[in-house]
Structure 1
C-alpha cells in the first residue's frame, strides 16, 4: 500500500481523527455516567476548569475553554443553580467574581474522571496488545501536541 503525503491525505486523516475523537468522547460520557448528571459537556468542562483552577474569574474560564463570555455566563448560571459553584468578590477587583467549586462539585468531577480513566485503562488492557502499548503512548504525545498547536499565524 503506497501512501501519498500531502494536503489531501492530511484532510482525510483530519476527518478520521475527528470522527474517532467524537466516538471516543461519546463513549466516555456513557462510561463515566456523565449523562446522569443532567449537565451538558460544555457545563461539565467549565465545572472541571473551576475545580482545577478555582477560585477563578469568568474571563479566565472563557479563555481556558475557548468560548465567549456569554457562553461562560450561561454555564456558570446553570452550575450555580445546581449548587456546584459559588462566586465571591475578587479581593483585587470587587467588580469581578471568583468562582469556586463546592465539595459536591469536586466529588462529581472526581467520579466522572475516575469513570473515564477506568474505562480507558480497561480498553487499553483488553484491546491493545502489549507490543502496541508504546504506540498508544506516542499517539497521546501527538494528540497533546495537536491540542497545544498555535496556528494563529494561519499555519504558514
Structure 2
C-alpha cells in the first residue's frame, strides 16, 4: 500500500520545515528507485549496477576523468576510482593521457565495454517501459518529458551562493 502523503511539514536537517511536496517527491523517488532495483533482479553479469552505470556514462560520452565521472554520478572520487579500476581490470575501459593536458588522465570505453553496455540486461528498463505504456494514461505519458527535465534540474541545483556538488555531465 502506498504511503500516505505527508500532512505535516517535515523538519529539515537545519531545523527548517521542508514543504510537503518536497517530502512527497523524496518518498516517491525512493519508492521508484526501490521498485526499479527490485525489477532488475540479481545482476546476471559479473559487473555491479554501479559499475554498469559508470560504464554507460563512459560509453555515451566523450573521454572523461575519474573526478568528472564521479561528479556526474554524485559520488566521491575515491569510490569512482575503485569502480574505474575494476572496469579497467576487466578491459572495459582504458586510461590515457589527455593530449591537451598531459597531467589529466582520461577514461575511454573499449570495444568490450561498448558491447557490455549493449548486452547488459534491460529488465529494469523493460519494466519501466511497460509501466509507462500500461500504467499511465495519455496525459501522464505526455507529461513525462517535462517531469524528467524537472528532475534533472533538481538533481543539478545548488543553494545560491554555494558551489554545486557536481556538474551535469562528466568532463
Instruction: With the length of structure 1 as denominator, give the TM-score of the two structures.
Output: 0.72
2:10 and 2:23 in contact (8 A); partners too: no
Which residue is 1:45 aligned to?
A: 53
Superposed displacement of residue 78, structure 1: 1.0
Q: Which runs of 5+ in 2 are unaligned?
A: 1-5, 12-16, 163-171
RMSD over aligned CA atoms reads 3.3
- Does the Cα contact within 8 Å between 1:54 and 1:101 map onto a contact in 2? no
Match of 2:159 in 1: 151
| Aligned position for 1:141 | 149
Closer, same or farther: CA 125–98 of 1 in aligned 2, 3 Å: same
CA shift, 1:105, in A, is 1.8
Once the 2 structures are TM-superposed, how far is the Cα of residue 10 of structure 1 from its aligned partner?
Answer: 4.2
Higher normalized helix content (fraction of residues): 1
Q: Deviation at 1:64?
A: 2.0
**What is the rounded CA distance, in whole Å, between the counterparts of 1:140 and 1:52 in structure 2?**
18
| d(CA) in 2 for partners of 1:98, 1:55 | 6
Q: Which residue number in structure 1 is paired with residue 169 of structure 2?
A: none
| CA positional deviation for 1:41 | 3.3
User: Which residue, out of 82, 88, 102, partners 2:90?
Assistant: 82
CA distance in 1, matches of 2:74, 2:160: 13
Counterparts of 1:68-107 in structure 2, within 5 Å, are 68-107=76-115
Kindly provide the CA deviation profile for residues 23-73 of structure 1, in whole angstroms up to 9, marking residues without a partner as x.
333443454567223333332232122112232222322332233321221
Q: Which residue of 2 aligns with 1:109?
A: 117
Question: Contact 2:8/2:20 (CA < 8 Å) preserved in 1?
Answer: no
Asked whether the equivalents of residues 90 and 98 of structure 1 are also in contact (C-alpha less than 8 Å), the reply is yes
Q: What corresponds to 1:122 in structure 2?
A: 130
Contact 1:56 1:99 in 2 (8 A): yes
After superposition, what is the alpha-carbon deviation per residue over 1:108-147, rounded to whole angstroms, capped at 9, x for unaligned?
3234485544332211111112343334444333323312
Gapped regions of structure 1 (runs ≥ 5): none
Q: How high is the TM-score relative to the length of structure 2?
A: 0.67
* Number of residue equivalences: 152
- Equivalent residue in structure 2 for 1:61, among 66, 69, 75: 69
